[in-house]
Structure 1
């Protein structure tokens, strides 16, 4: 009888651990308008097999900032948002690259090694204000162009996707 009870207790403990582990994988539901959907090889989701984010959820992630110019703006600005590597880590993503889709139909493949080598932002704010669609927002995969001269070429310019709406981890 003691052996059966011990096995039952062990089984229950395992079931509870799996339940807790699965609960930790679920993201909170967005309360506002969804501005980003992430799919693919991610372990943390909140809508089917995707992670949907509203603006507040993205601002709840650790925020980073830098001052940089871009090939598309006349002057440098102060940009802030989560680092792409932090977003992918938060989602427990596993992939060699991401496919980014923008509101304007532009698409780009970005190797995830870029996020280890550079502080690539998913910029949410410019000069402490949300970035409007007209000004390349609401989200912009932004490289620190002024901090690394090797970024000033067509390869990295093509990866700096603005008006981001979807990311697929592959």
Structure 2
């Protein structure tokens, strides 16, 4: 029940933020991401995510027109910050979409936890607040449909497997 209540509050906050004015939309104390390991749960608000080294990536996506500019921390840095030592993680989105991702993806490629697209912070209405983005244009093998499923938008939770 606690997990459900926290998720309900997160969903309500994310969906109401664009409607509730600048103060609510800019709430940097709101938890955007939970990272769960067998030992603990790490909570990330926007400030903690932005405190990680930020990386820029320009790439095409399968759901937008033309190349898009993304910024955010590398997934490998995010997982290291959370103390994840696993070979795979379960990425879970706001809409309950989930997929197992090999951690090797994050060491092999500069995959980012995108917080902005084209200079603007993403909201749940535009795939945010966090979208796992692969450097699709830089690696031909990432242009395969099997990798397209790994682009988790509206990311809210990561569980070490």
Out of 128, 141, 159, the position equivalent to 2:132 is: 141
Contact 1:68 1:144 in 2 (8 A): yes
Q: Is the 8 A contact 1:40 1:50 kept in 2?
A: yes
Counterpart selection for 1:164 from 137, 152, 155: 155
8 A contact 1:121–1:142 mirrored in 2:
yes
SS of the equivalent of 2:149 reads helix
Report how far residue 41 of structure 1 moved: 4.3
Contact 1:41–1:94 (CA under 8 A) maintained in structure 2 = no
The answer for the alignment partner of 2:107 in structure 1 is: 116
2:37 to 35, 40, 65: 40
Q: Distance in 1 between matches of 2:107 and 2:44?
A: 23
Note the alpha carbon deviations across 1:3-25, whole angstroms, 9 max, x for none.
xxxxxxxxxxxxxxxxxxxxxxx
**Matching residue of 2:65:** 74
8 A contact 1:80–1:125 mirrored in 2: yes
Q: How many residues align?
A: 135
- 1:120-135 alignment, distance < 5 Å: 120-135=111-126
Q: Secondary structure at the match of 1:155?
A: helix
Q: Compute the TM-score of the two structures, normalised by the length of structure 2.
A: 0.80
Report the Cα distance in structure 2 between the residues aligned to 1:78 and 1:41, rounded to whole angstroms.
Answer: 35
Relative distance call for 1:55 and 1:79 in structure 2 (3 A) is: same
Please list the CA deviations of residues 80-122 of structure 1 after superposition, one character each: whole Å capped at 9, or x if unmatched: 0000001111222110000000011210100000011100000
Runs of 4+ in 1 over 2 A off after TM superposition: none
Distance 1:157 1:31 in 2: 30
1:61 matched to 2:58 = no
Match of 2:75 in 1: 84
Gaps of 5+ in 2: 1-26
**CA-based RMSD:** 1.5
Q: Which runs of 5+ in 1 are unaligned?
A: 1-29, 43-48
- Scaled by the length of structure 1, the TM-score of the pair is 0.76
Q: Any idea what SS the aligned residue of 2:129 has?
A: coil
Equivalent residue of 1:71, what SS?
coil
